Amino acid sequence: RRTGDPEVVYGAGKTPEQVVAILRTLHERHPDRAVLATRLSEEAMAYVASALPEAEVHAVARSATLGPLPEPRGTVAVLSAGTSDAPVAAEAALSVRVHGAGVDLVQDVGVAGLHRLLAVRDRLEDADCLIVVAGMEGALPSVVGGLTGVPLVAVPTSVGYGASFGGLSALLGMLNSCAPGVTVVNIDNGYGAGVFAARVARAAGPRR
């Protein structure tokens, strides 16, 4: 792990006790910066809250942080359409913050209701990087990518049923986007999108 990058715990498959123990150890090593734990079960979030009172539990993101978040530099706008995509969007947003950029969270903007999306065009243009989260057919990044030239990272989610095949449909849709300049991460990988977008936003100079 490159010096200065925050430590991150991937909580899936870990017991609440393991999560708390790792958080505590990593926090002691670098008390001056935040440790992030993602993919926490209900039990793990509850145990973190009780065992580490100074930790902050982010319920929607199914995550927790311990230690002070860095000063934000640059801005990442995180867009999503439905309530089902909210956990992935929240994981992305929190990952952006922990990796040192600011977040503008834009929810409830879907391709089947264009006016809400058109109403937030200014916020898109003001961002240094966009994260667009969508399940089902994953069409939102194509539409957003047609509206703005800000670098755009698309996150397919496993939201859907039947022929969504666990997020495959959204993933393929985003990879085939007709809007140029769209990049994609793994299904439900809000964390990876957040790390990437924070790097882009932090490096961005003043807008020209």
Site for ligand AMP in 26-55 (CB under 6 A): 38-39
* 9 binding partner (options a copy of itself, Mg ion, ligand AMP, none; Cβ < 5 to 8 Å by kind): ligand AMP
Q: Which residues of 64-74 are buried (b: 16+ CB within 10 A; e: fewer)?
A: bbbbebbebeb
The residues pairing with 57 across neighbouring beta strands, listed in sequence order, are 64
Among 38, 75, 80, 189, binds a copy of itself (CB under 8 A): 189
Comparison of 82 and 166: residue with beta carbon closer to ligand AMP: 82
Q: Residue with CB nearest Mg ion?
A: 134
By CB under 6 A, is residue 99 in contact with ligand AMP? no
Please report, in angstroms and rounded to a whole number, the separation of the first and last CA atoms in the chain: 33
Stretch that binds ligand AMP, among 45-53, 120-128, 145-153, 189-197 (CB under 6 A): 189-197
Number of residues that bind a copy of itself (CB under 8 A): 76
Residues whose CB is less than 8 angstroms from the CB of residue 137 and which lie 6 or more positions away in sequence, other chains included: 169, 170, 173
Give how far Cα 188 sits from Cα of 46, 79, 128, Å.
23, 14, 22
Q: What angle do CA 26, 29, 35 make, to 5 degrees?
A: 35
Size of the site for Mg ion (CB under 5 A): 4
- Residue 4 lies near ligand AMP (rule: CB under 6 A): no
Q: Considering the rule CB under 8 A, would residue 60 count as an interface residue with a copy of itself?
A: no
Question: From the list ligand AMP, Mg ion, a copy of itself, none, which binds 147 (C-beta under 5 to 8 Å, kind-based)?
Answer: a copy of itself
- Pairwise CA distance, residues 39 & 42, whole Å: 10
Binders of Mg ion among residues 126 to 145 (CB under 5 A) are 134, 136
